[in-house]
Amino acid sequence: MGLKYRTFLDGPKIYGCFQCKTHLATDDAFLSARFQGQHGQAILFSSVVNVVAGEAKERTMTTGVHVVQDISCCRCKTVLGWTYVKAFDHENKYKEGKFILEKALLS
């Protein structure tokens, strides 16, 4: 097992892990704040860094059934949200490959 390096982001607004402040995303990756997570409001991002994806699971959400993977901070292992692997509904296909981070878990 080798060393794990974290990516450090640069920009006017950096989203980080609430627990350990590890960088996760920049404002350039921000897509929408009109999402709901398990802890309240959530944000949709086009890309994130310094996360580890869990096992893909089918999950029923407010917009239908999706295959998702929970994503955790690579440093402190806090579950921060999920990534969309597959959307079964045509109207939700745009979410595939995107990431949800819960606002309550961001700094």
pLDDT tens-digit profile of 45-101?
A: 999 999 999 999 999 998 999 999 999 999 999 999 999 999 999 999 999 999 999
Output the CATH code of domain 14-105.
2.170.150.20
Backbone angles phi, psi at 105, to 5 degrees: -105, 10
- Radius of gyration over alpha carbons of the chain, in Å? 14
Quick one: average pLDDT of 16-24? 97
Whether the predicted pLDDT of 2 surpasses 60: no
Of 105, 97, 91, nearest to 48 by C-alpha is: 97
Q: Which of 38, 19, 25 is nearest to 76 (CA)?
A: 19
Query: Among 56, 28, 51, 57, which residue's Cα sits nearest to residue 102?
Result: 51
Residue linked to tokens 């310094």: 50
